[in-house]
């Protein structure tokens, strides 16, 4: 660490600094912001957000310049030369890898990952231990944390948790019992209620020969569990205590413990699920989504020069936006793609390509915003549900990056206005059949047909060497008939290239007849059909079969893996390569893992459905069934690997139809769901369109656990609305029940009270008809929550008791635990802490015995509420901190938002104002992004109370008004009235003063 100058892995620190320390808050915030983005220009907008939390003064830009000057002076006086650069793009601080602890940490992570991958575990352990030693606490823990930092800090903390897991695994594998005990002790400091962790610590200490410490650890575990949770240790922990008493070490690491229990979950603030797993060797790469450049691109050199000058300019005022407009067939897309490849080096932060489908079914701007944010490597759980907030997030992300965005086939200016950057050095190129004159700030570049020279050159190039003489009468006649339109020239040139028996003179003769010329040159559907037929005729039987399948399956983007159920991976990829080569399929995007997504134009998809004889068409439907079977079976296998038990009814509870010899791990399962997420809704639509309704509703139901964990509300609604229609179409009453229950739960999350009531009641009736007691219990819990939230506590409790009865009857411990927790909420609301405590103790024991951390975390939240009601806020805070760690580690952003609101309130009661404020602000933001008004309203109400208690009059009034408004929108009149009474009391006090 001797070479380190700056430290952010803990309190902000200047190593070996001379002179006065950095004291002023704004320069410290500025320095931290730059160090979170080392060696990259950070825009003034982003800096302003970091310094003033979304409410910068009008003089923000001038103030930032002042702080930069002050920061340079302080750092130079401290003996730390600060090469802070200034440009139109913002400010940048230049630091070497060994000069910033976070950069060195990431470098060591990568080195350790490479060593581990190469099999050198002992060297990897040394390197990773060095990385572990760099952490001095939570990053920048001495500074207030603005929202602008959260993405960077979450990434660092996720990497740290991944490091701890990797290091613990290495120490366990190589018998370093003492080293493992150190890590386990640190984990227990964060979560002292984890029985399995206590058991592992006892065994680790025994293996290290530290018998006395092992006994002491067991004693402390028993006392902690008894004092805080009123429970006795389970059999595994008791057995460890017996081994400690006898001074006998277990066969350590214990081979009897399943491997998924040997690795602890990520700690607080981790992104969902597998995103927090140690990714030590493959950092995210900038997006590179440009379609393949046409090898025979010709003409448009003047246009290319104009566009290159525009998009590569350094205008400090506004980002460049170019609109390439023209009639169909003028080569708009080809020009935009060629430009993208020419200027790639000028856009080091990536190139994004998005087809807006303006000529067919225009893409919704909200969905396009999601696609752009995902392309910028933002995790899906961080993307707001509100389109305006998505647009604001995109502008913030682009402000500090240099990205080229190509939006192809745009219908109207309104379709892309929300997608435009507001500042920074990114550029946008748009193609459209319309000029989009009303798109603010755009430069227009209209395209016409080729001139004679460009037209002749393209014909010669596409037709191939020696196929046509550009000066011949036949060539001139062909070009005249084409009207120098690029698409028409490409069509006839391709025919000459693919048909050696077709002479230019014969083609010219065919084009001479005006009655048949449209068949040869039509730009619309007929031209596409003709071109596609020629390509289809050139396919091998294997390629043609895949093409016909794609016609039925590809109602959206798809991956090669989805098609591997009908052929080997190598065969699928060979056929796809050929289909891309003949322009029947194209690459839509390539993600950061290098995995391609493919797309087929809607008209080509219809073409693929129509080609082939009757048997071949029937075979395509059978192939589609095989693909859907494989998708459904893989979803089931992925669900089986998830570490939590889903509270809901699964569409399938029998044995897997095709078990995989290499089953999923939990990390693999969630990574697969993440990577294939874009496939499922199109697959459901494809199933329904082809009459395979049983597959449609089953796939919708099967991925519900993932949707619930990821709070994927848009996909949830799309898939289940179609799933409900399909269940009804095939007369599957059980399927209808599952769809109604899941749609009711979604409506409950979104405060859509009427639809929630309707769906839950339909679900109860349908489950009762088919005799599904678990389903009746699950739906009863939903109805109980609806009634409780609407103010009818007694009726809600009655529903919870019905659910408990059903779950006990069928022996479903997970459902019983949840229903008991829900019932405890009612008893708490009534002030009966004794009964509530009894219900919660039973629920906690059920969760612990099941080994379900997710269920355990939910019970911890309610135990915290009980402790808070008893005035035991220290215990409430500990319970909530541990629950939050579990939710974050599993990627449950939704439950984490509620936990943050409750933790903020508990911290407020304990007098920790700064920490409480941050928790409540985070909860408000997440609740707003997810569209959950209940959590947003609760957090805002607590925050208003916090502001009032500290004398911050304006903030208190503003926040309580927001809380009242949100509660009103959620339909909770009682809570809205509470906020208004607080405001009235507050205002009267101010007036009296």
What is the SS3 assignment for 447-492? CCCCCHHHHHHHHHHHHCCCCCCCCCHHHHHHHHHHCCCHHHHHHH
- For 61, other C-beta atoms within 10 Å of its C-beta total 13
pLDDT of res. 275: 28
Contact (Cβ atoms closer than 8 angstroms) between residue 167 and residue 128: yes
DSSP structure class, residue 98: G
Mean pLDDT value across the chain:
82
The continuous run of DSSP H or E covering 640 comes out as: helix 614-641
pLDDT score recorded for residue 260: 33
What pLDDT is stored for residue 262 in this prediction?
Answer: 33
Tell me the per-residue pLDDT of 326-384, one tens digit each, with 9 for 90 and over: 766 678 888 999 999 999 888 988 999 999 987 667 888 998 998 898 888 876 666 78
Nearest CA-CA partner of 935 in 894, 973, 968: 894
Separate counts of helices (H) and strands (E) for the chain: 42, 11
CB 791 within 8 A of CB 800: no
Domain boundaries, the chain: 301-446, 452-530
Cα(486)–Cα(494) distance, integer angstroms? 12
Does residue 436 sit in helix, strand or coil? coil
User: Could you give phi then psi for residue 85, rounded to 5 degrees?
Assistant: -90, 150
Phi then psi for residue 431, to 5 deg, are -115, 140
Backbone angles phi, psi at 407, to 5 degrees: -105, 105
pLDDT of residue 795: 94
Give the DSSP H/E element, type plus range, for residue 7. strand 6-7
CA distances from 284 to 279, 378, 379, 594 (A): 10, 10, 11, 10
pLDDT tens readout for residues 415-456: 999 999 988 889 999 998 777 878 888 888 888 778 888 888
Residue 836 has pLDDT above 50, yes or no: yes
Pair 426, 90: CB distance under 8 Å: no
Q: Stretch 544-565: mean pLDDT, rounded?
A: 89
User: Cα angle vertex 867, ends 866, 872, to 5°?
Assistant: 155
Give the 3-state secondary structure of residue 625.
helix
Beta strand ranges found along 567-641 (DSSP E): 586-590, 596-599
Q: Are 416 and 407 in contact (CB under 8 A)?
A: yes
Q: Is the pLDDT of residue 654 over 80?
A: no
Following CA atoms 859, 862, 868, 872 in sequence, which dihedral angle do they give, to the nearest 10 degrees? -20
CB burial of 975-993 (b: ≥16 within 10 Å; e: otherwise) equals bbebbbebbeebeeeeeee
Distances in Å between the Cα of 132 and the Cα atoms of 78, 183, 275, 435 are 28, 10, 20, 56
Residue 254, pLDDT above cutoff 50: no
Tell whether the model's pLDDT for residue 743 goes beyond 80.
yes
| pLDDT value of residue 632 | 93
- Cβ contact 281:117 at 8 Å: yes
Which residues have CB under 8 Å from 258's CB, separation 6+?
none
**Dist CA 327 CA 483 (whole Å):** 13
Confidence tier at 798 by pLDDT (50, 70, 90): very high
Q: Within 10 A of 66 (CB to CB), how many other CB atoms are there? A: 12
What is the percentage of the chain residues whose pLDDT exceeds 90? 22
Collect all residues with Cβ–Cβ distance below 8 Å to 151 and sequence separation of at least 6: 378, 382
Tens of pLDDT, residue by residue over 271-296, are 333 223 333 333 457 888 888 887 77
Provide φ and ψ at 286, rounded to 5°.
-60, 150
Query: For a pLDDT cut of 70, what percent of the chain falls above it?
Result: 87
Most confident of 11-20, 506-515, 695-704, 863-872: 695-704
**Residue 819 scores a pLDDT above 90:** yes
Measured distance between the N- and C-terminal CA atoms of the chain, rounded to whole angstroms: 57
Q: What is the pLDDT of residue 270?
A: 32
Measured CA distances, 372 to 355, 368, 405, 420 (Å): 11, 6, 9, 11
Rounded distance between C-alpha atoms, residue 101 and residue 106, angstroms: 9
Pairwise pLDDT comparison (391 vs 590), residue with the higher score: 391
Please check the confidence at residue 266 and state whether its pLDDT lies above 60: no
What would the 3-class secondary structure string for 522-587 be? CCCHHHHHHHHHHHHHCCCHHHHHHHHHHHHHCCCCECHHHHCCCCCHHHHHHHHHHHHHCCCCEE
pLDDT over 90 at 191, yes or no: no
CATH class of residue range 301-446:
alpha beta
H/E run at residue 352: strand 351-355
Question: Tens digits of per-residue pLDDT, 516-547?
Answer: 554 565 433 334 355 456 568 778 999 999 99
pLDDT band at 264 (very low <50, low <70, confident <90, very high): very low
Q: What is the DSSP letter of 400?
A: T
- Encode 850-890 in three state secondary structure: HCCHHHHHHHHHHHHHHHHHCCCHHHHHHHHHHHHHHHHHH
Whole-angstrom distance, CA of residue 854 vs CA of residue 837 = 19
Strand partners, 445: 324
Encode pLDDT of 217-246 as tens digits: 889 888 888 876 677 888 888 888 898 888
Considering only CA atoms, which of 80, 272, 255 is closest in space to residue 666? Answer: 272
Residues belonging to the chain:
993
Q: What pLDDT does residue 284 have?
A: 53
Buried b (16+ CB within 10 A) or exposed e, 555-592: bbbbbebbbbbbbeeeebebbbebbbebebbebbbbbb
Q: How far apart are CA 104 and CA 106, in angstroms?
A: 5
What count of other Cβ atoms lies within 10 Å of the Cβ of residue 952? 15
pTM: predicted TM-score of the whole model, two decimal places: 0.55
The b-or-e profile of 620-646 (16+ CB within 10 A means b, else e) is: bbebbbebbbbbbbbbbbbbebbbbbb
Q: Which of 909, 911, 986 is nearest to 953 (CA)?
A: 986
Greater pLDDT, 591 or 42: 42
pLDDT at site 583: 60
Q: What's residue 688's pLDDT?
A: 94
Neighbours of 259 (CB within 10 A): 9
């Amino acid at each position: 660490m001797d070479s380190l100058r700056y430290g952010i892995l803990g309190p902000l620190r200047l190593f070996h600094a001379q002179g006065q320390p950095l004291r002023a808050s704004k320069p410290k915030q500025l320095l931290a912001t730059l160090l979170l983005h080392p060696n990259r220009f950070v825009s003034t907008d982003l800096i302003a957000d970091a310094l003033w939390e979304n409410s910068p003064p009008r003089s923000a830009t001038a103030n930032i310049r002042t702080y930069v000057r002050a920061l340079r002076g302080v750092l130079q006086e401290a003996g730390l030369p600060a090469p802070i650069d200034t440009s139109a793009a913002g400010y940048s601080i230049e630091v070497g890898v060994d000069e910033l602890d976070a950069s060195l940490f990431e470098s060591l992570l990568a080195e350790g990952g490479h060593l581990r991958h190469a099999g050198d575990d002992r060297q990897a352990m040394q390197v990773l231990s060095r990385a572990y030693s760099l952490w001095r606490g939570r990053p920048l823990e001495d500074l207030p944390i603005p929202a602008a930092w959260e993405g960077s800090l979450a990434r660092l903390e996720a990497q740290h948790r991944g490091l701890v897991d990797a290091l613990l695994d290495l120490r366990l594998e190589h018998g370093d019992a003492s080293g493992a005990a150190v890590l386990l002790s640190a984990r227990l400091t964060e979560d002292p209620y984890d029985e399995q962790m206590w058991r592992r610590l006892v065994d680790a200490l025994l293996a290290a020969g530290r018998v006395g410490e092992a006994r002491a650890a067991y004693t402390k575990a028993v006392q902690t569990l008894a004092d805080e949770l009123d429970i006795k240790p389970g059999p595994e922990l008791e057995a460890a205590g017996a081994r400690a008493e006898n001074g006998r070490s277990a066969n350590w690491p214990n081979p009897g413990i399943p491997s998924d229990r040997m690795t602890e979950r990520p700690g607080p603030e981790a992104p969902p699920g597998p995103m927090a797993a140690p990714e030590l060797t493959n950092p995210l790469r900038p997006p590179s989504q440009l379609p393949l450049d046409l090898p025979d691109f010709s003409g448009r050199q003047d246009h290319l020069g104009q566009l290159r000058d525009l998009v590569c300019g350094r205008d400090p005022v506004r980002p460049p936006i170019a609109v390439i407009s023209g009639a169909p067939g003028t080569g708009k897309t080809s020009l935009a793609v060629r430009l993208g490849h020419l200027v790639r080096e000028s856009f080091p932060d990536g190139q994004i390509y998005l087809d807006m489908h303006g000529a067919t079914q225009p893409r919704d701007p909200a969905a396009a915003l999601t696609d752009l944010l995902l392309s910028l490597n933002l995790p899906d759980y961080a993307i707001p549900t509100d389109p305006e907030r998505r647009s604001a997030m995109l502008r913030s992300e682009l402000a500090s990056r240099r990205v080229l965005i190509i939006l192809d086939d745009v219908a109207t200016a309104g379709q892309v206005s929300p997608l435009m950057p507001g500042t920074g050095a990114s550029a946008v190129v748009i193609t459209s059949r319309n000029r989009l004159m009303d798109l603010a700030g755009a430069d227009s570049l209209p395209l016409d047909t080729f001139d004679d020279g460009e037209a002749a050159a393209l014909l010669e190039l596409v037709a191939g060497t020696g196929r046509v003489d550009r000066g011949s009468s036949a060539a001139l006649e062909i070009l005249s008939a084409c009207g120098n339109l690029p698409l028409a020239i490409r069509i006839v040139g391709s025919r000459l290239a693919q048909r050696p028996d077709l002479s230019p003179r014969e083609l010219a003769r065919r084009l001479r007849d005006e009655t048949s010329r449209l068949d040869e040159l039509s730009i619309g559907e007929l031209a596409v059909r003709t071109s596609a037929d020629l390509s289809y005729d050139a396919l091998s039987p294997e390629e043609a079969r895949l093409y016909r399948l794609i016609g039925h399956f590809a109602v959206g983007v798809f991956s090669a893996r989805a098609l591997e159920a009908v052929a080997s991976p190598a065969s699928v990829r060979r056929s796809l390569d050929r289909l891309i080569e003949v322009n029947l399929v194209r690459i839509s995007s390539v993600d950061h893992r290098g995995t391609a997504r493919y797309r087929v134009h809607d008209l080509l998809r219809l073409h693929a459905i129509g080609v082939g004889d009757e048997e071949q068409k029937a075979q395509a439907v059978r192939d589609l069934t095989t693909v859907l079977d494989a998708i459904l079976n893989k979803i089931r296998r992925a669900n089986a690997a998830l570490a939590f038990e889903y509270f809901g009814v699964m569409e399938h509870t029998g044995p897997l139809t095709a078990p995989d010899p290499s089953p999923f791990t939990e990390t693999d399962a969630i990574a697969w769901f993440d990577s294939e997420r874009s496939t499922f809704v199109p697959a459901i639509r494809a199933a329904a369109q082809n009459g395979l309704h049983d597959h449609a509703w089953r796939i919708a139901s099967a991925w519900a656990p993932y949707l619930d964990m990821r709070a994927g509300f848009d996909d949830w609604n799309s898939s289940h609305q179609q799933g409900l229609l399909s269940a009804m179409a095939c007369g599957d009453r059980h399927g209808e029940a599952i769809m109604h229950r899941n749609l009711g739960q979604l409506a409950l999350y979104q405060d859509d009270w009427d639809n929630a009531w309707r769906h839950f009641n339909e679900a109860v009736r349908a489950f009762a008809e088919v005799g599904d007691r678990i389903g009746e219990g699950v739906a009863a819990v939903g109805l109980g929550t609806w009634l409780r939230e609407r103010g009818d506590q007694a009726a809600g409790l009655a529903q919870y008791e019905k659910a408990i009865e059903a779950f006990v009857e069928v022996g479903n411990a997970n459902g019983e635990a949840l229903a008991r927790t829900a019932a405890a909420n009612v008893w708490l609301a009534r002030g009966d802490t004794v009964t509530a405590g009894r219900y919660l103790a039973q629920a906690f024991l059920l969760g612990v015995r099941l080994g379900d951390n997710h269920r355990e975390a939910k019970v911890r939240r309610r135990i915290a509420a009980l402790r808070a009601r008893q005035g035991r806020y220290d215990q409430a805070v500990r319970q909530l901190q541990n629950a939050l760690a579990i939710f974050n580690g599993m990627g449950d952003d939704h439950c984490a938002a509620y936990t943050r609101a409750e933790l903020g309130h508990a911290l407020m009661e304990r007098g920790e104002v700064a920490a409480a404020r941050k928790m409540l602000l985070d909860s408000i933001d997440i609740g707003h992004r997810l569209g959950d008004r209940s959590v947003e309203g609760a957090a805002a109400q607590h925050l208003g109370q916090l502001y009032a208690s500290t004398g911050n009059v304006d903030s208190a009034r503003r926040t309580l008004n927001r809380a009242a408004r949100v509660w009103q929108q959620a339909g909770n009149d009682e809570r809205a009235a509470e906020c208004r009474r607080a405001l009235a009391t507050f205002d009267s006090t101010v007036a009296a003063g």
